[in-house]
A and B are shown apart, each in its own frame.
Chain A
Amino acid sequence: AQTVTQSQPEMSVQEAETVTLSCTYDTSESNYYLFWYKQPPSRQMILVIRQEAYKQQNATENRFSVNFQKAAKSFSLKISDSQLGDTAMYFCAFMRFGGGSEKLVFGKGTKLTVNP
């Protein structure tokens, strides 16, 4: 079974600064996706960024980028130029590709607070 570990239950950062959220995962699969989801106080789950395991290039989406280290099974999220609206729970998630059971397995989340 796959497991996802987020070792930082809570983090805080000053507005405009950069913060990195950690995520490690455990799997014997070779085909999989990794995701970061954001859940602001509104409760809505929002996809931040997606990484395909077979791609070596790290995914980026505007101020959000990942550091994907496949051998180390590490998938950290870097948020640059943090904004107040980035305050949210951030979940790292793993999905095995194929086989008919493409379920997302989530980590326990990191609560990020951006301070003015």
Chain B
Amino acid sequence: DTAVSQTPKYLVTQMGNDKSIKCEQNLGHDTMYWYKQDSKKFLKIMFSYNNKELIINETVPNRFSPKSPDKAHLNLHINSLELGDSAVYFCASSQGGRRNYGYTFGSGTRLTVV
């Protein structure tokens, strides 16, 4: 029973298209995140939601819009895809405060823009 599941695992699309990545966690965590891992493997936070409320919004183009319908789901929608958006996108969740034992990550979505 997967704790943090992302779909799809692979996504190949053309420049200019709009795409979404879905994420769901069944751990009961109250905080969810999107991270981007670039071609050099560097991981950088994009967004964080706590119980459906946006907490962190790093310097990310407006073409990226997260949506959290409930605290178990955090989706990422990307408009007008560009070549530079090609990366691996990770969803993660954690329990905040003193019970924060680190993030549980999804398996990642490899996005390739051609």
Interface residues of A, Cβ cutoff 8 Å to B: 33, 35, 37, 39, 42-45, 47, 50, 89, 91, 95, 97-98, 100-106, 108-109
Contacts and interface: CB of A to CB of B under 8 A. Distances in A.
Q: How large is the interface on B (under 10, 10 to 19, 20 to 34, 35 or more residues)?
A: 20 to 34
B5 interface: no
Given A44-B107, A103-B33, A33 B100 contact: yes
SS class, residues of chain B in contact with chain A: strand
A44 B109 CA distance: 11
Contacts, number: 61
B102 A50 contact: yes
Nearest to A44: B107
A1 to B, nearest CB: 11
B42 A106 contact: yes
B40 A104 contact: no
A33 B101 CA distance: 9
Given A43-B108, A45-B90, A98-B97, A104 B103 contact: yes
Contact of A108 (B31, B42, B90, B98): B42
A97 B45 CA distance: 16
B48 A108 contact: no
Given A44-B108, A47-B102, A97-B98, 17 more contacts: A33-B100, A35-B102, A37-B102, A42-B107, A43-B108, A45-B90, A91-B43, A100-B50, A101-B55, A101-B56, A102-B31, A102-B94, A103-B33, A103-B48, A104-B103, A108-B41, A109-B41
Contacts of A37: 102
Given A45-B105, A103-B33, A97 B42 contact: no
Contacts of A100: 50, 55
28 contacts: A33-B100, A33-B102, A35-B102, A39-B41, A43-B88, A43-B108, A43-B110, A44-B105, A44-B107, A45-B90, A45-B105, A47-B102, A47-B103, A89-B41, A97-B98, A97-B100, A100-B55, A102-B31, A103-B33, A103-B45, A103-B48, A104-B35, A104-B43, A104-B45, A104-B92, A104-B102, A106-B42, A106-B43
A24 to B, nearest CB: 17
